[in-house]
Amino acid sequence: MNGKNNISIGLITMGVFMLYGFILIYLRDFAPNAKEWAESYPIGKHFESRLAHVHGNLFAFLNIVIGYLLLQFADKLKKIKLISILGLTGLLMPLGILGEVYLGLPPVFVLLGAIAMTVSVLILGVSFFKMNSK
């Protein structure tokens, strides 16, 4: 794991959550119960679905950036594998939100993913801070 998987999985995840955005547009504007769906905009499944869509794309983008940085600075950074794995594990957050909405799963995956992505970004930031600029 040197960053390549973060980029490829990040791009695929971004595409999937972009498609999910089209589903949300359908539910809001064209579905038989679109009016009720739109009225529940700030609460319930509608709100949670938007959170998944936004965080899915954000965490996908973060994986693309993380992967790119790991590849570009592989010879100067430490803990590359850990940063990569934690970044990918972060995708559990938006997937966990979808699991809550559609499968009634507990929020443990949301928390694990959020913590993993945060730790990944923090370790990467500290690694860059400590990196030799030679």
Contact by Cβ (8 Å): 20, 78: no
Q: Which residue has the tokens 């990040």?
A: 10
Contact by Cβ (8 Å): 17, 57: yes
- Specify the pLDDT at position 16: 98
Q: Where in the chain are the domains?
A: 4-130
Q: What is the pTM of this model?
A: 0.91
C-alpha span between 115 and 121 (Å, rounded): 10
The string of pLDDT tens digits covering residues 70-95 is 999 999 999 999 999 999 999 999 99
Examine the pLDDT at 2 and tell me if it is beyond 70: yes
